[in-house]
């Protein structure tokens, strides 16, 4: 199987998992153009930490369930940018989600999801981010065969959604006194 792996240009931990499952992997962090994707002749698209919106004409090249994203939030909470930050600022549930990409931002049907709980007193933004990142990779690895072979029945996202853009963070930068090493207790519920 030929997989288009989208990321942020850094070492993508999914690459080795896909290679272990005999996938040919094409990696990019650049915005996608449908004509380029057509030339690649890929079977599946996997996105993780990708910074660009995937347009309708690109998504149309993939059968249902063959374009997925890994997101470190418990969707529908914290769609968009900095999901980990917002879960603490707004006291919304934390977790990870693997879902089918659609035309919205983090709005597709969910394949796998897991809620996670953190010790607010002893966690930092960085340490909680690391735990979420590790868990999403582990969840993908545990289910990679079913995902790649479309043996998972997608489920609609349920509940009240929240979403954020990159610029939404600007109003709260003053709270991040130690950057991503800021203790979670220092920002807990401050956006309410």
Beta bridge partners of residue 2, listed in sequence order? 24
Q: Which domains can be identified in the chain, with CATH numbers?
A: 2-186 (3.40.50.170)
If you search the block for the tokens 């997101």, which residue do you land on?
Answer: 71
Q: Which residues of 24-57 are buried (b: 16+ CB within 10 A; e: fewer)?
A: ebebbeeebeeeebeeeebebbbbbbbeeebeee
Query: In tens digits, what is the pLDDT along the chain, a chain of 192 residues?
Result: 999 999 998 889 999 999 999 999 999 999 999 999 999 999 999 999 999 999 999 999 999 999 999 999 999 999 999 999 999 999 999 999 999 999 999 999 999 999 999 999 999 999 999 999 999 999 999 999 999 999 999 999 988 899 999 999 999 999 999 999 999 999 999 996
Q: Summarize pLDDT for 55-95 with one digit per residue, the tens.
A: 999 999 999 999 999 999 999 999 999 999 999 999 999 99
pTM: 0.95
């Amino acid at each position: 199987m030929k997989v288009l792996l989208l990321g942020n240009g850094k070492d993508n931990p999914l690459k080795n998992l896909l290679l272990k499952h005999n996938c040919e992997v094409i990696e990019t962090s650049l915005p996608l153009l449908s004509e380029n994707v057509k030339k690649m002749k890929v079977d599946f698209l996997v996105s993780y930490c990708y910074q660009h919106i995937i347009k309708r004409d690109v998504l149309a090249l993939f059968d249902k369930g063959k374009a997925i994203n890994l997101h470190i939030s418990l969707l529908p909470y914290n769609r968009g940018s900095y999901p980990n930050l917002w879960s603490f600022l707004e006291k919304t549930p934390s977790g990870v989600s693997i879902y089918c990409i659609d035309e919205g931002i983090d709005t597709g049907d969910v394949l796998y999801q897991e809620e996670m709980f953190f010790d607010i007193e002893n966690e930092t933004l960085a340490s909680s981010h690391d735990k979420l990142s590790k868990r999403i990779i582990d969840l993908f690895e545990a289910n990679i065969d079913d995902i790649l072979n479309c043996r998972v029945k997608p489920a609609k996202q349920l509940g009240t959604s929240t979403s954020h853009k990159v610029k939404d963070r600007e109003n709260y930068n003053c709270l991040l006194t130690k950057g991503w090493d800021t203790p979670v207790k220092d920002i807990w519920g401050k956006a309410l």
